[in-house]
Amino acid sequence: MDRFHIVGGSSLRGVVSVSGSKNAALPILFSSLLGGGMEVGNVPSLRDIRTAFSLLSQLGIRAQPLFQEEKGEVSEGPWTFSDTGNWPGKFFLSEENTTAHEAPYDLVRTMRASILCLGPLLARRRRARVSLPGGCLIGARPVDMHLNAFSRMGARISIDHGYIDANTDGLVGCDIHLPYPTVTGTENILMAATLAKGTTRIFNAAQEPEISDLAVCLNGRGARIEGIGTSSLKITGVDSLLPSSYGVMADRIEAGTFMVAGALLGDPLTVQNIDVTCLSSLLGTLRAMGADFEETPGSVTLARIRKPCGASVRTEPYPGFPTDMQAQILPLMSIAKGSSTVVETVFENRFTHVMEMNRMGANIDVHGSRAFVHGMSSLEGASVMASDLRASAGLVLAALIANGESEIQRVYHIDRGYERIERKLEKLGARIKRVRGEDVP
């Protein structure tokens, strides 16, 4: 298992360009199961994306890499998915086998978002057998809302030996009222409804920008989705989708992570290739903590906050403060003047990083879903363990401001969702090195 060796204290100066969004790319890639063929660009080179391609391959989707040549022409190259140094970023996905329908436990356990194949498989192939994702470190994470919606649309669903077994004679649109605006639940239903008979309306839909990205991509292929970006989506089913080309949006969580890095150590740091409007709640918090930044339509420039002050944050569905950013804001709160509070409302157990940050000298008390951060801590380098994707990003930021050396173990978590983060940070002036270990199965 690889680890990061970080020497804290260096300023971060320059420009960092944000990669394509993991959470937008995943549903868009799984939407290839709806048929029609599609070209997808700005696909980030990440562990989760490779898992998605493995699963899609088992489900009969051929992913052909497209390399941009100097003259602007696109051609196929001799390439495999393990070739990380030469990632094309663009793929043509087409159906080769339309009878495969099983998503095995081995793949689903490494990436919960594999559940996103369920809706498209049911809609197009009328049959799906998908391993139940099970719980994970940040909470139970059931998929009951996905399953209830598919039942209402006419799927017969049973749970058998840890697998969701579902089939249908054809999905039929209906009104779905979600008890909670689940992100992948909304995406799964949206994809299924695209090819269902009649009209589906999703009420209390999640409004995350990644859902809008998926919906715009689907409409470009002939789907009929209205209400994009709102909590009420109306989908009029169509018989089939058409071939099309789409570029995945930029990753707002990667952008947010670099923005916090800028607030901690920027001298100054420009985060570019982003949609600033997706980040307003984080920018509001950074402003409240004392950040001064310059915005353009595609970038934000921040300098280190000289005297950060404490803030209160409550994680919520979009457009609220993202749960995927709470681990990263904690190091800033730890060195701020006064105290701060984080209330986690999305996942029940998302403070596993706090113990590790406290080992680095932070002073954070967790009571249930609340973390109380006593500021003015001076962080010290330590050997710490990453426990999940965003927790690892929080630990990297803590190590960057700590005195002395830190070692972050199990960085395979961060490789799931950040494209070459150590190279991007190193280019900005951070002292960070990847120490190679054995591969994670």
Is cis: bond before 181, omega within 30 of 0? no
Q: Give me the DSSP letters along 253-265.
A: HHHHHHHHHHHHH
| Exposed/middle/buried for residue 391 (C-beta within 10 Å: 0-12, 13-18, 19+) | buried
- Minimum CB–partner distance for residue 307 and ligand UD1 (Å): 31
CA–CA gap between residue 360 and residue 379 (Å, rounded)? 5
Q: For residue 136, indicate whether it is catalytic.
A: yes
CA–CA gap between residue 31 and residue 252 (Å, rounded)? 21
Is the CB of residue 262 less than 8 Å from the CB of residue 269? yes
Nearer to ligand UD1, 346 or 402 (CB): 346
- Residue 85's alpha-carbon distances to 20, 88, 207, 275, in angstroms, are 17, 9, 35, 27
- Minimum CB–partner distance for residue 206 and ligand UD1 (Å): 6
Q: Which residues bind ligand UD1 (CB under 6 A)?
A: 23, 26, 113, 139-146, 180, 182-185, 206, 323-324, 346-347
Give the number of other CB atoms < 10 A from CB of residue 140: 10
Nearer to ligand UD1, 77 or 142 (CB): 142
Nearer to ligand UD1, 26 or 432 (CB): 26
Is the CB of residue 288 less than 8 Å from the CB of residue 311? yes
- Minimum CB–partner distance for residue 345 and ligand UD1 (Å): 9
Nearest to 89 by CA among 149, 37, 46: 46
Nearer to ligand UD1, 178 or 196 (CB): 178
Is cis: bond before 322, omega within 30 of 0? no
Q: Of 136, 217, 278, 309, which residue is the catalytic one?
A: 136
Phi, psi dihedrals of residue 227, rounded to the nearest 5°: 85, 20
Which residue matches tokens 């986690």?
344
Which residue matches tokens 């995406």?
187
- Minimum CB–partner distance for residue 296 and ligand UD1 (Å): 27
Nearer to ligand UD1, 144 or 292 (CB): 144
Nearer to ligand UD1, 258 or 318 (CB): 318
- Minimum CB–partner distance for residue 317 and ligand UD1 (Å): 7
Q: What is the CA radius of gyration of the chain?
A: 22
- Minimum CB–partner distance for residue 380 and ligand UD1 (Å): 29
Give the number of other CB atoms < 10 A from CB of residue 280: 10
Point out the residues that are catalytic: 136
